[in-house]
Amino acid sequence: MIKKNDRITLKIEDMGVNGEGIGKLDGMAFFVKDAVIGDTVEAKVMKMKKSYGYARLMTVLKPSAVRCEPGCAHARQCGGCQLQALDYEAQLEFKAKKIQNDLIRIGGFADMPKPEVMGMEEPWRYRNKAQFPIGTDRTGQVVAGFYAARSHTIIPCTECRLGVEENRTVLEKLMAHMKTYRIPAYDEETGKGLVRHVLIRKGFSTGEIMVCMILNGRRLQGTEELVDSLREIPGMTSIMFNVNRERTNVIMGTELIPVWGKDHITDQIGEITYKISPLSFYQVNPVQTEKLYETALEYADLQGNETVWDLYCGIGTISLFLAKKAGKVYGVEIVPEAIEDAKENARLNGIRNAEFFVGKAEEVLPQKYEEEGIRADVIVVDPPRKGCDEKCLETMVRMRPDRIVYVSCDPATLARDLKYLCRQGYEVKKVKGCDMFPETVHVETVALLSR
């Protein structure tokens, strides 16, 4: 019997949804974080369940042909990346299989082929947004970094290789300022202290940078001096505070205080310029976003006079991308600030055939359809990880669009929703993956359905 603390040798034959290596011994499956498919490893058993267990990677006895040196020294500790030890081609293969498996197992699409996954040429420094927690270490020093996997312990680190180089400068300047003025970092345990997080965003095509400090309060000592220092960073465009006084894991509060510069930055994807506020959702990987939206546009197959709905539209990114080829586009989004941005983005780009509504897709869509009779030729959805609400899917089916383009950041909920739509008369025509998040297990998928 294998028991806790045993050292075992495993041949890793598969990888789980969270990127763990999976090996079998005595009919038991073991999940080993940081082991990759093809490795032979020595691992220490940490936890035993009835038919499976968890083990910790101790030594790689024989490295897999697809194993590579992680690109970041913090890869094992950090909760952010799960696939750094896997070479990039193998990461794409992992994601293609993940999409295929979910569509077969959860969606019931038995003969689903493995989809193409569009990869990046340079799978590093792709994130235009970073959120660093600020805390205090045991010696009382202010630290910025990332949370260790499945915890809220901050591992000091000002340099994440997924993010832009300016992140580090911003963090160093802020920490130095906090030290000079003895400004305390927020303490999750006690709810005391001031600085909670820093949000940094950069428009890749414009070079514009936004720094938003999330405070447990409304003021920061010596703000002018800090602003002068941050302004030295080329591209600095917007410095803001966000007030969050709640004892919560939610990073941002609702109140924004402009401190210096604009209250937003702009960026460009394809030919469209977007205005982005701190509270609005904006895709984090602009290079891949363009490929994703191009695919959505191709799947939508617009001839010029269609009525298109873009549900979960954020700041109207997809809506505006489609508007030039459509008759009319309606966007729906739950965050009011994002809809403000969407409207402004339409104006900014001279787009007059796009209209935006604030509200839940599952409420706005039925209402507009039933009460106002607005129809749909094509519906695009891009919901958060939990997928579409059933009420939303049901209304989509009743509106009988010719095509549905489903953009998804979680293949499991995508599979569930496609199953529903296919029971109601739709058919999956095309599926393509897009690697928006290299080094992590996450993948974006676009699916085309037609009636």
Binds ligand SAH by CB under 6 A, chosen from 213, 220, 313, 446 = 313
Minimum CB separation of residue 332 from ligand SAH in Å reads 6
Return the closest-CA partner of residue 298 out of 187, 207, 167, 429.
429
> Strands 265-269 and 272-276: what pairing?
antiparallel
Taking CB under 6 A as the criterion, the residue among 132, 186, 281, 437 binding ligand SAH is 281
Contact status, residue 55 vs residue 30, Cβ threshold 8 Å = yes
CB of 204 to ligand SAH, least distance (A): 15
Question: How many other C-beta atoms can be found within 10 angstroms of the C-beta atom of residue 446?
Answer: 26
- For the CB of residue 211, give the shortest distance to ligand SAH in the complex, in Å: 21
Residue in this structure with the two tokens 């205090």, named with its chain if needed: 136
Distance of closest approach, residue 283 Cβ to ligand SAH, in angstroms: 5
Site string for ligand SAH, 196-235 (x = CB under 6 A): ----------------------------------------
Shortest spacing between CB 372 and ligand SAH, in angstroms:
18
Is there a catalytic annotation at residue 409?
Answer: yes
Task: Give least dist CB 63 to ligand SAH, A.
Answer: 38
Q: Is residue 336 a contact point for ligand SAH (CB under 6 A)? A: no
252 near ligand SAH, judged by CB under 6 A: no
Which of the residues 116 through 155 are near ligand SAH (CB under 6 A)?
A: none
Q: Which of 117, 332, 339, 446 forms a contact with ligand SAH (CB under 6 A)?
A: 332
Please work out the total of residues on this chain that contact ligand SAH, with binding judged by CB under 6 A. 19
* Measured distance CA(331)–CA(350) in Å, rounded: 16
The correct pick among 100, 242, 295, 317 for binding ligand SAH (CB under 6 A) is 317
We find the least distance from the C-beta atom of residue 384 to ligand SAH, in angstroms, to be 5
Stretch touching ligand SAH by CB under 6 A, among 114-122, 300-308, 371-379, 381-389: 381-389
Under rule CB under 6 A, residue 296 binds ligand SAH: no
Stretch that binds ligand SAH, among 149-157, 186-194, 211-219, 314-322 (CB under 6 A): 314-322
Does position 244 interact with ligand SAH (CB under 6 A)? The reply is no
Q: Sort residue 403 into left (φ over 0), alpha (ψ -120 to 50) or beta.
A: beta
Judged by CB under 6 A, the chain residues 352 through 371 that form the site for ligand SAH are 360-362
Whether residue 432 contacts residue 445, with contact meaning beta carbons closer than 8 Å, is answered with yes
- Cα separation, 88 vs 74, in Å, equals 18
67 secondary structure, DSSP code = B
Assess 113 for contact with ligand SAH (CB under 6 A): no
Other CB atoms within a 10 A radius of the CB of residue 150 amount to: 7
Say whether residue 384 binds ligand SAH (CB under 6 A). yes
Q: Which residue reads 């953009």 in tokens?
A: 407
- For residue 267, state whether it binds ligand SAH (rule: CB under 6 A): no
Residue 407: which of 432, 429, 426, 390 has the closest Cα?
432
Give the CA distances from residue 391 to residues 140, 364, 365, 374, in Å, rounded to whole numbers and listed in that order. 51, 11, 9, 17
Nearest CA-CA partner of 10 in 26, 28, 23: 23
CA dist., res. 42 & res. 133, Å (int): 34
Question: Does 382 contact ligand SAH by CB under 6 A?
Answer: yes
For residue 308, the minimal CB distance to ligand SAH (Å) is 13
- Only one of the segments 23-31, 135-143, 184-192, 331-339 lies at the binding site for ligand SAH (rule: CB under 6 A); that segment is 331-339
Q: Could you give the CA distance from residue 76 to residue 70 in angstroms, rounded to a whole number? A: 9
- Residue 106 binds ligand SAH (CB under 6 A): no
Q: Which of 82, 84, 283, 295 binds ligand SAH (CB under 6 A)?
A: 283
Selecting among 78, 157, 409, 434, the annotated active-site residue is: 409
Specify the residue, 29 or 335, whose C-beta has the smaller distance to ligand SAH: 335
Closer to ligand SAH by CB, 277 or 317: give it: 317
The dihedral region occupied by 261, where left means phi > 0, alpha psi between -120 and 50, and beta the remainder, is left
Angstrom distance (rounded) from CA 353 to CA 184:
49
Pairing verdict, β 40-48 and 403-408? unpaired
- Triad 160, 162, 167: Cα angle to 5°: 50
Which residues have CB under 8 Å from 202's CB, separation 6+?
128, 129, 164, 166, 208, 209, 210, 235, 265
Query: Is 339 one of the binding residues for ligand SAH (CB under 6 A)?
Result: no
Binder among 78, 269, 279, 318 for ligand SAH (CB under 6 A):
318
Whole-angstrom CA distances from 155 to 54, 83, 126, 165 are 24, 19, 22, 18
CA distance 329 to 345: 14
Work out how close the CB of 237 gets to ligand SAH at its nearest, in angstroms, rounded to a whole number.
20
Binding site for ligand SAH (CB under 6 A): 281-283, 312-314, 317-318, 332-335, 338, 360-362, 382-384
**Residues classed as catalytic:** 409
